[in-house]
Amino acid sequence: ILRVRYPKFHVSEDCLYLNIYAPAHADTGSKLPVMVWFPGGAFESGSASLFDGSALAAYEDVLVVTTQYRLGMLGFFK
């Protein structure tokens, strides 16, 4: 028998997030393109914390918005 060790998976009811990443040079007058990312996972699993938009915002000169919402058994489709 193989002993497979899985990483601990943190679950929390605090699940509604909107993260906004902007380049360091952006100010209120900047007209940047906006990329919105919704985590995949067939509406069963996924997390905005799996994606860090700061590098994309810095290197590609865009405003990155990530969302996190309730999924799974207590999700919005159930």
Q: What is the pLDDT of residues 24-39, one digit of tens each?
A: 888 888 899 999 987 7
The overall average pLDDT reported for the chain is 78
* Mean pLDDT value of segment 33-51: 73
What pLDDT does 78 receive? 47
45 or 53: which leads in pLDDT: 53
- Other CB atoms within a 10 A radius of the CB of residue 11 amount to 7
In sequence order, what DSSP letters do the residues of 9-47 get, joined into one string? ----S---EEEEE--TT--TT----EEEE---STTTS--
For the chain, give the percent of residues with pLDDT over 90.
17
Q: What is the pLDDT of residues 57-68, one digit of tens each?
A: 989 889 999 887
Q: Which of 64, 51, 61 is nearest to 20 (CA)?
A: 64
